[in-house]
Amino acid sequence: MKALIVGDRPILEDVSRLAEGRFVIAADGGANRLLSHGIRPDLVIGDMDSISSSSKRELEDVLLEDKNINSTDLEKAFDYAKDQNASQITVIGWAGGRVDHTLAAFGLVFKGAILIDEVFHVEEIKEKFSFSSPEGTIFSLISVPTAVVSVSGSRWDLDQTSLNLGGRALHNEVDSSGKVTITCHSGKLALMRGKFRLPHD
């Protein structure tokens, strides 16, 4: 089973494509956003303080109330998907709003989630990973809190370089080869692949 988790933040216009063939879980108010796109979630989980009354009535047969104050609604949705042995968990509607909730959502990357928003695709890098994108496409590497990393195929390659949270490698670009290879030798590392390019003189 592949799962799509939808939070209560603006979601992608192509949510229908992402939802196809996946078990769709709305994290509380994410249900409102799904219904506005004509999508009925398979499950709604959370403390139910954000879902509208009309959405509650329409989805009463798939509501799972969880008032645990020690986790966010997105975390509850993620834990449910993991308990169901989901082979892939993608999260949208996670960015923006309260910074503490956004940071908590980012932490799901290191539990196996893939985060997607309007401009970035975020996932953990374990050992070695390659991707292809047009020259100039933006990507960033986030170490939590440190990592030793090598990068080839980028505008600024790295060779077993130590990265610290908030330091070097927060911005890089795909070079003319169109293929980037990233190796995480140690530590925890997240890749943020951009969906855009920046112009250069």
pLDDT of residue 168: 64
Query: In the listed set 118, 143, 170, which residue is the last one of a domain according to the structure?
Result: 118
Q: pLDDT tens digits for 83-98?
A: 999 999 999 999 877 8
95 and 151, same domain (yes or no): no
What is d(CA 65, CA 104) in angstroms, rounded to the nearest whole number?
Answer: 20
141 and 80, same domain (yes or no): no
113 and 131, same domain (yes or no): no
Query: In the listed set 60, 88, 118, which residue is the last one of a domain according to the structure?
Result: 118
Q: What is the DSSP string of the chain?
A: -EEEEE-SS---TTHHHHHTTSEEEEETTHHHHHHHTT---SEEEE-SSSS-HHHHHHTGGGEEE---TTS-HHHHHHHHHHHTT-SEEEEES-SSS-HHHHHHHHHGGGGTEEEE-SSEEEEEE-SEEEEE--TTEEEEEEEEEEEEEEEESBSS-EEEEEEETTSTTSSEEB-TT-EEEEEEEEEEEEEEEEEEE----
90 and 44, same domain (yes or no): yes
pLDDT of residue 198: 65
88 and 25, same domain (yes or no): yes
Closest to 50 (Cα-Cα) out of 95, 9, 90: 9
Total count of domains within the chain = 2
Mean pLDDT score, 150-160: 96
pLDDT category at 15 given cuts 50, 70, 90 is very high
Arithmetic mean of pLDDT over the chain: 92
Position 201 pLDDT exceeds 60: no
Q: pLDDT tens digits for 23-47?
A: 999 999 999 999 999 999 999 999 9
Q: pLDDT tens digits for 85-137?
A: 999 999 999 987 788 888 889 999 999 999 998 889 999 999 999 999 999 99
Look up the CATH number of the domain holding residue 146: 3.40.50.10240
103 and 138, same domain (yes or no): no
pLDDT category at 167 given cuts 50, 70, 90 is low
Residue range(s) defining the domain that contains residue 42: 2-118
100 and 170, same domain (yes or no): no
What is d(CA 33, CA 26) in angstroms, rounded to the nearest whole number?
Answer: 9
Cβ-based neighbours of 71, under 8 Å, separated by 6 or more? 79
Burial 101-126 (b: 16+ CB within 10 A, else e): bbeebbbbbeeebbbbbeebbbbbbe
Query: In the listed set 83, 118, 153, which residue is the last one of a domain according to the structure?
Result: 118
108 and 135, same domain (yes or no): no
97 and 127, same domain (yes or no): no
94 and 150, same domain (yes or no): no
94 and 175, same domain (yes or no): no
pLDDT of residue 200: 57
Share of the chain above pLDDT 90, in %: 80
pLDDT of residue 157: 96
Position 161 pLDDT exceeds 60: yes
What is d(CA 155, CA 55) in angstroms, rounded to the nearest whole number?
Answer: 48
14 and 61, same domain (yes or no): yes
